[in-house]
Amino acid sequence: MDRSQMDLSDLAQVRDVVRSVKPDLIINPAAYTAVDKAESEPELAMRINGEAPGVMAEEAKKIGAAMIHYSTDYVFDGSKDTPYLETDRTCPINVYGKTKLAGEQAVQAAGIPHLILRTSWVYGMHGKNFLLTMLRLAQERDELRIVADQHGSPTWCRTIAEGTAAIVAQINDAQDGRDWLRQHSGIYNLTSQGQTTWYGFTKAILEHANIDKKPRLTPISTQEYPLPATRPAYSVMSGEKFINNFLNLPTWEDALVSCLQNKTFSDNV
């Protein structure tokens, strides 16, 4: 079901769709993801990211359904210097992160079997994302000035899809899928392994992409590139819990190369 069939900003429609479809499992990857724009549209961002997941979860409870919901590394403030665990204290520092945390809490409060998958720095070969922006700018400019003091784990959207598919496969293989979901309910970090900066990510993109003339890369600080939304300086998350329960996860470098070559990681399972 796509956004043309259900507008997440229309909570009544969200409720009606769940009631009419009566799913056994709701998988909700949709979100308001414009991090900077959310600073000027906090009500809309909260309705889509915070309230709509809660409505889905409440309706799921009425029909005995479960839910897989996606969240973000931006629920953390970046004060750590080691990878965040699922149990670490949340403290979002921008509107987007606050709305996503509200969505997590709404799903948890409904008391249904659920998995909340936190991911980070998501990219792919479609839509609007950092990878495609860098590939475009590399063709247009002689120099790219890239922030080098924010640390995270770039995650290919296919890694997220394959991780989700592994979860669904376990549900289907279980003797009692609902009991399996109850036992595995909770938060999991679903990100590529390892860490880098936006500068390091860009450097790797240019190294592995088929670009004839590569621009000069200049590292800069966050202060030199001000944006409406404050970003955490460190938002790396440990994927150990996800790996131990579901699926091996690639390093961010291997995932990037595979994305640019359009390969999958199914051989690494």
By annotation, the residues acting in catalysis are 96
Q: Are 73 and 120 in contact (CB under 8 A)?
A: yes
- C-beta separation of 227 from 164 below 8 A: no
Q: Give the closest residue to 98 by CA, choosing from 124, 76, 120, 130.
A: 76
- Interatomic CA distance for residues 188 and 182, integer angstroms: 14
Q: What angle do CA 248, 250, 255 make, to 5 degrees?
A: 145
Q: Do 241 and 189 contact (CB within 8 A), yes or no?
A: yes
Tokens at residue 180, please? 């399996």
- Spell out the alpha helix ranges (H) of the chain: 11-21, 42-46, 52-63, 95-109, 130-140, 157-173, 177-184, 198-208, 240-245, 252-261
